[in-house]
Structure 1
Amino acid sequence: MKVLVIGGTGALGGHAALHLAAKGHDVTITGRGTGAHPATPLARLAYLQGDFVAGDFTAERLRGFDWVVFAAGNDPRHVPQGEDFGAWLHKANHVALPAFFAAAREAGVKRAIQLGSFYAQAAPELVADNVYIQSRQAACEGARAQGRPGFDVISVNAPFMVGTVPGLPSAIFDPYVQWAKGLIPIPPYAPTGGTNFMSFESLSEAIEAALERGEPGAAYLVGDENLSFAQYFQLFFDAVGRSDVKVEALDQELPLLPDAAIPQGRGNFISYEPDTGETALLGYRRHDIANAVRTIVAQFG
């Protein structure tokens, strides 16, 4: 199939693009810049420049693609400096994202994946008071509302993600590795609480399966392992060869995982087991977090 990955120069979209290309698909990636990072294998894929928030992806530009993977939903990292937080997320996720899917339908795209966030499904009690989660829920619902016979839209909603794209820098995982190696002067502790984690490999497998056999209009809550934050960060210390260092759970903010990045609030958990039928349908690997951390350490260590 001829596949377009919106946000394919980033981590999750990039990993999915490489996975689909390895399966024999003709993959094109998009980004707002001039191309993929030159140190990554993404640079070998076809590239289409554009910004969905600006309305760059018209039906004319999308024509000829069979499948689309949308991996560019906006989160707090994407809000431009000086912009109102809520207004920007509304513009991007409530308005521009569904408009993109409408353009894809007009272009004749057959199937499309909206890669979303797990919060609204896994912890619906958080929706009412969180503008970001509201915007991701609106993206999930707005994208699927564009589906029609002949244009299938499926949401894949993922938890905390763990993994790498070869050669791609990471402002999240590189510091984790340096900290575990003792190169960042922060004591070995983690905030109390925890969440569900999933590897890039598992997610790319789920995206591929959703494209191939997902139910039109479905919103799949995917995930892998429920871990406390202390258990999660302990994996990094173990992977760098410092198993003797024990990560302690403390009720205090960790600079490497600030409270703003824990919507359920420090000390709370978001734990769930993905639906067994959906997991079997999508066929993604499980119990992959320690392996994903080892891959991260191999890249950034």
Structure 2
Amino acid sequence: MRKYSKILVTGANGLLGTNTIIELLNQGFMVRGFLRNRDNFVGPTHQNLELFEGDITKVNHLNEAVRDIDCVIHTAAITRQHILDYKDYYKVNVEGVENLVLASIKNKVKRIVYVSTAAQFGYGTLKDLGNESIDIKQPFKKQFYVKSKKEAYDFLQTIKNEIEVVTVNPSFMIGAYDSKPSSGKIVLMGIRNRLVFCPPGGKNFVCVQDVSRGAINAMIHGNSGESYLLANENLSFEQFFKRLRKLSKNNMIIIKIPKLIMISLGYFGDFLRYLKIPIQLSTANIRLLCVNGFYSNNKAKNELGVHFSPIENGILDAVHWFSKHRS
């Protein structure tokens, strides 16, 4: 078992970053949280937590942040879907990783846990789930966020002999402390609206607390150079909203949108984006909602010892957190 004492978590104010910091503190680690503005941190104060303000694109900030650090858990990334130019994703999600690696090697960091995305690998069906051995598929290849995460992963494969790198690949995370919000928008949609318009596809959903524990297990037990899908329940969007409806006690009406209408909306979004209007609608983004992005978690369970909770736990955590913090 590898022993580390002081851990840097980038993206400290994000959904996964905050939950990972809390779990690290609960396990007795010293933690430095890297974020742009400490006022945005919604996690607890703790004697073993230091918040470090910096910019992931600035090498001098990263050199300071990784000083005296044993291991980095890199959760920081641009995930917003309305951005028009791929270079904006590239600057943070690819160049930011390259800068972090160089700073970590220079400061003799022992290991980096890189948080990528499940979509880096090919999805499957309920009878034949996607796994770590399947190459990325369309439509994810063309989606800017996924493309940038895959490009950063490919870079990390070139430096495996210089520093230990383990990759974890979460699916769609649900839980508390989603302050921006990010994936929790799907929960807010369900608890705030009487009508919910439901795409025809599906995703793999996972509790964010399980992902944070999985990232820590990867830090301790993962094999350098390996990737681990942190995924759990494969559900259609309709199934997810039905569970959300039951747990939130919001008697929403779920309206399924046919794929043809979804794709038409995507083309309309492409036209608006051509006019330089920042909008999430695009054919690339819409097509993601029309496929069943289903994955297996066997490798993470067997090799990292990760135990996955029912997605109802994450939904309830998110509902309670949003009800308290975003009234």
- TM-score w.r.t. the length of structure 2 is 0.78
Partner of 1:236: 244
Per the alignment, in what secondary structure is the counterpart of residue 247 of structure 1?
strand
Which deviates the most, 131-140 or 200-209?
Answer: 131-140
Match of 1:136 among 144, 149, 153: 149
Shift of 1:224: 0.5
Residue correspondence of structure 1 range 14-93 to structure 2 within 5 A: 14-37=18-41, 39-41=42-44, 45-76=49-80, 85-93=85-93
Distance in 2 separating the partners of 1:121 and 1:259: 23
**1:142-157 superposed matches below 5 A:** 142-148=155-161, 151-157=163-169
Distance of 2:291 and 2:248 partners within structure 1: 28
Q: Against the structure 1 CA distance between its residues 22 and 78, is the aligned structure 2 distance closer, same or farther, given a 3 Å change threshold?
A: farther
Q: Which residue of 2 aligns with 1:224?
A: 232
Which ranges of structure 2 fall in alignment gaps of 5 or more residues?
124-135, 266-279
How far has the Cα of 1:61 moved from its partner? Answer: 4.0
Structure 1 distance, partners of 2:185, 2:144, is: 29
2:311 is aligned with 1:292 = no
Q: Which runs of 5+ in 1 are unaligned?
A: none
> Aligned pair 1:184/2:196, yes or no?
no
- My pick for the range that moved more, 90-99 or 195-204, is 90-99
Identify which of structures 1 and 2 has the higher relative contact order when contacts are C-alpha pairs closer than 8 Å and 6+ apart.
2
- Is the 1:2–1:67 contact (alpha carbons within 8 Å) kept by the matching residues of 2? yes
Alignment RMSD: 2.7
Distance 1:10 1:245 in 2: 28
Per-residue deviation, 1:33? 1.5
Contact 1:234 1:246 in 2 (8 A): no
2:254 is matched with: 247
2:103 and 2:154 map into 1 onto residues whose CA distance is: 16
Using the alignment, how far apart are the partners of 2:26 and 2:112 within structure 1? Answer: 19
Kindly indicate whether the alpha-carbon contact (under 8 Å) linking 2:174 and 2:205 is maintained by their aligned counterparts in 1. Answer: yes
Aligned residues: 286
Q: Identity over aligned residues, as a percent? A: 22
Equivalent in the alignment of 2:291: 268
User: Is the contact made by 1:105 and 1:147 (CA closer than 8 Å) also made in structure 2?
Assistant: no
Aligned partners of 2:289, 2:173: CA distance in 1, in Å? 18
> Closer, same or farther in 2 for the Cα pair 1:117/1:264, shift >3 Å?
farther
TM-score (norm 1): 0.84
